[in-house]
Chains A and B, each alone.
Chain A
Amino acid sequence: MNHVLSVAGATKKFGGLVAVNEVSFDINEGELIGLIGPNGSGKTTLLNLISGALKPTSGNISLNGALISGQPAHKIARQGISRTFQLVKVLPGLTARENVIAGAVFGHTHVWGDEAEELAESLLEKVGLSDRGDSPTGAMTYIDQKRLELARALAGNPSVLLLDEWLAGLNPSELKIGISLIRDLRNEGLTIIMVEHVMDAIRSLCDRCVVMSSGVKIADGEVNQVLADPEVVRAYLGDADA
């Protein structure tokens, strides 16, 4: 039983709307799982429950056996969960280097001063932003902002990394770069949950995927098997019809 992350019966209600309904799954160390589903099926809400941006209405989430659900986001971050956001969030008033350092000072890692600068430099290089440390971030291109956000999430040396449509909005050549970057992270042994609409990415990266529809988990298993599941196909086609 070395589940890094366990989600058990996680539920989130917004008034009458049940955005996440009794979702359960476990993730093993080093796994890269895809979390897919039609628009509005509750994927982002589920990530919000895991990262602590929202508190679950009911259900438990634990990290390495310790309960984290119900705790505020900063405490969960300190225990080793990092994330990126569906609508990319960089800190526009800070340089690229400072954006990355921000992820390494208060959370799961505590470095400061020269050590933080060195870490930031190596992460910027890793995501393909070497020599861009002093750049103001407000004027960066979309893919560069996404890279920067990933570097900030990695700076916390997370036990689990949550990516919310990190590949969305990239052009085909950028997509290739993005996919190989995530593959590298997986090969280093990082545990990742990626929410994604880009099926090619899911197919080429994930060992396993979880499918949601209207807040409910409708499938969980090996990628090709899950994508051939009639219920999954119906969920997606139903979405296309609508």
Chain B
Amino acid sequence: MSLPTTREWQIAVGGLIVLIGVALVPFFGSGYVLSLTVNIAMYTVLCTAWAMFSGPTHYISLATAAFFGIGTYAVGLGLETLPFPVLVLVAGACAAALAAVVGIATLRLSGVYFVIFTLGLAELVKQVVTWWQTNFTTSVGLYVFTDFREQHILWMLLGLAALVFITSWAISRSKLGFAMRIIGNDETVAKHVGIDTARAKVLLFVISGAFIGMVGAILAPRFAYVEPPSAFNTMISFQVVIMALLGGTNRIWGPLVGVIPFTILMDQMTAYFPNHTPIVIGLAFLAIVYVLPHGVTGLMADLGKLRKRFKLVAANAGEGA
């Protein structure tokens, strides 16, 4: 509505310092630390983009793998003809287009149907791509040869992270963000004050999907060889949901709080118990639903409120005595 507040400036400066710090990791950290950092950066963008839509609407989207895979394939298919930065934008546009179609078709449905549909979507797109490749091209996969190394991927992800945070912040201050808060509170009221709720939700889904598609594009060089099962990996969708909910979606930086520990945990799990990752994901999901329904940041906010109330009670008691 107006200029950023002092607090917002402080957060922005703090964020920038962290970003620069992380960008320096390739110069100091080992290969292992770098690759872990890339994973964290990747999930940070994915989860923040996911929360942009799912936070205010409370719709659980499992379409992340679909948007991500579309982005990866955009790079795989276009690498010979277009420069990489353009391909990232194309990837975003393709994912946005898919999000628009899916959103228009499904966002009138209730939450449960939406979850199932988005889960099916990633599988559907994967099958379509596989079918198309086996019938119309010579191989099932695509080679993605670039000069990009891990550090370049990291820097691109950090740039995208900055963009996704700024976008989230701008939306939260815009009419669209205000509309989403009203929808999240009471959809009937939202409609009766003149909000086109379907349009607002689709718009947000599109913006969120575009960012996820761009992440897929940036990660494509890391795969070197892109196949449908790796590009459209449903596991990504579930991990994003868990990390974002673990951190909490009530604050822009909430998902980040979940991303860091969970990425490290998953990394350790795949290293030592590669066959048990689904169990961890399942348990984490239950733990979040039952213990931390509003995520870590939600818990912190609740504790803060509790402390305030406690102080108030103590003060009143003191006065009374």
Measured CB to CB, the residues of A under 8 A from B are 51-53, 72-74, 77-78, 82-83, 85, 89, 91-94, 98, 101-103, 105-108, 112-114, 152, 156
Contact = CB atoms under 8 A, between A and B. Distances in A.
Contacts of A92: 185
Given A106-B175, A112-B1, A113-B1, A77 B185 contact: no
Interface of B: 1-2, 175, 178-179, 181-182, 184-186, 188-197
B184 A103 contact: no
A112 B175 contact: yes
15 contacts: A51-B192, A53-B188, A77-B192, A89-B189, A91-B181, A93-B181, A93-B184, A105-B193, A106-B179, A106-B194, A106-B195, A108-B194, A113-B1, A113-B2, A114-B2
Contacts of B179: 105-106
Contacts of A83: 192
B184 A73 contact: no
Nearest to B194: A107
A94 B175 CA distance: 14
B107 to A, nearest CB: 14
Given A89-B186, A93-B184, A113-B1, A105 B192 contact: no
Given A74-B196, A74-B197, A113-B1, A91 B189 contact: yes
A208 to B, nearest CB: 25
B186 A74 contact: no
B192 A91 contact: no
Contacts of B194: 74, 77-78, 105-108, 156
Nearest to B199: A74
A105 B178 contact: yes
Contacts of B189: 89, 91, 102, 152
Contacts of B192: 51, 53, 73-74, 77, 82-83
Contacts of A112: 1, 175
* Residue with the greatest number of chain B CB neighbours at <10 A, chosen from A77, A78, A82, A106: A106
A60 B2 CA distance: 44
Contact of A91 (B2, B175, B186): B186
Contacts of A156: 193-194
B193 A103 contact: yes
Nearest to B182: A102
A145 to B, nearest CB: 12
Given A102-B178, A113-B2, A94 B185 contact: yes
A91 B181 CA distance: 9
* Residue with the greatest number of chain A CB neighbours at <10 A, chosen from B181, B191, B192, B195: B192
Contacts of A72: 191, 196
Nearest to A92: B185
Nearest to A103: B193
Contacts of A152: 189, 193
A52 B193 CA distance: 12
B131 to A, nearest CB: 38
Contacts of A82: 192
Nearest to B185: A91
B193 A106 contact: yes
A51 B189 CA distance: 11
Contacts of A108: 194
Contacts of A91: 181-182, 185-186, 189
Which 7 pairs show the lowest CB-CB distances between chains A and B?
A107-B194, A106-B194, A77-B194, A91-B185, A73-B191, A78-B194, A106-B195
Given A105-B193, A107-B193, A114-B1, 19 more contacts: A51-B192, A72-B196, A74-B196, A82-B192, A83-B192, A85-B188, A89-B188, A91-B185, A92-B185, A98-B178, A101-B178, A102-B178, A102-B182, A106-B194, A106-B195, A107-B194, A112-B1, A152-B189, A152-B193
